[in-house]
């Protein structure tokens, strides 16, 4: 089962993946970008804010996604795969960055990158402005987080609207809830 954990920065995805990976058997934990050697280099470029073209940024994400699918996802589809981010983040950030893109166009690009291998489940972490402020104030921000809270919340809204258009099962988790109750909800869903 290929599961992507989605949401904007600081929403708690990584924490939940860590908890689940400690308690589940035969699980693959990965992330986008950064789940492959190429992905680590791509992530470094993307977070350094060195690209001036939003198209170049999108293409780098897609290149990482294709490599990640080929090396990590496709050979392990018989296991539980927990991915910190995936194509939904790509769509959310791309649409927030460039109004020339359309949802349908981005789906086709991701369909190509993923060889039609979309996830079996999306777990989306929705965060409120108060929790987002609290969490971003307590850490050093990367170049994407430095675009501001309004930007991050716009990305979140785009991702939620995109979820509703997809034919992929999903749940929306209140990221402001306590860690243990979120974990129980997700664990019960996966083990059904």
pLDDT digits (tens, 9 = 90+) for 77-109: 999 999 999 999 999 989 998 778 899 999 999
**pLDDT for res 134:** 85
Average model confidence (pLDDT) for the chain? 91
Residue 1 has pLDDT above 70, yes or no: yes
Residue 144 has pLDDT above 70, yes or no: no
**pLDDT for res 17:** 96
**pLDDT for res 76:** 97
Q: Which residue has the higher pLDDT, 11 or 139?
A: 11
In the chain, what are the helix, strand and coil shares in percent, each to the nearest 5? 55, 15, 30
φ and ψ of 173, to 5 deg: -105, 135
**pLDDT for res 141:** 62
Q: What does the buried/exposed string (b/e) look like for 30-67 if buried means 16 or more CB atoms within 10 Å of the residue's CB? A: bbbbbbbebbeebbeebeeeeeeeeeebbebbbebbbb
Average pLDDT over residues 67-82: 96
Pick the CATH number of 2-190 from 2.60.40.1180, 3.30.530.20, 3.40.50.300, 3.90.1150.10: 3.40.50.300
List pLDDT tens digits, range 154-186.
Answer: 999 999 999 999 999 999 999 999 999 999 999
Q: Is the peptide bond before 13 cis (omega within 30 degrees of 0)?
A: no
């Amino acid at each position: 089962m290929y599961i992507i954990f989605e949401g904007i920065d600081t929403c708690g995805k990584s924490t939940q993946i860590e908890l689940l990976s400690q308690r589940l058997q035969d699980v693959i934990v990965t992330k986008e970008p950064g789940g492959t050697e190429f992905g680590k280099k791509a992530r470094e470029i993307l977070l350094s804010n060195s690209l001036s073209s939003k198209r170049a940024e999108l293409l780098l994400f897609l290149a990482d996604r294709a490599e990640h699918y080929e090396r990590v996802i496709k050979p392990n589809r018989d296991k539980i795969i927990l991915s910190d981010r995936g194509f939904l983040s790509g769509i959310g950030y791309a649409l927030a960055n460039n109004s020339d893109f359309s949802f349908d166009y981005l789906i086709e690009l991701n369909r190509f990158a993923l060889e039609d291998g979309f996830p079996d489940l999306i777990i989306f972490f929705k965060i409120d402005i108060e929790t987002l402020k609290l969490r971003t104030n307590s850490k050093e921000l990367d170049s994407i987080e430095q675009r501001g809270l309004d930007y991050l919340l716009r990305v979140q809204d785009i991702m939620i609207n995109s979820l509703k258009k997809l034919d992929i099962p999903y749940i929306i988790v209140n990221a402001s809830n306590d860690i243990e109750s979120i974990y129980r909800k997700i664990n019960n869903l996966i083990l059904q």
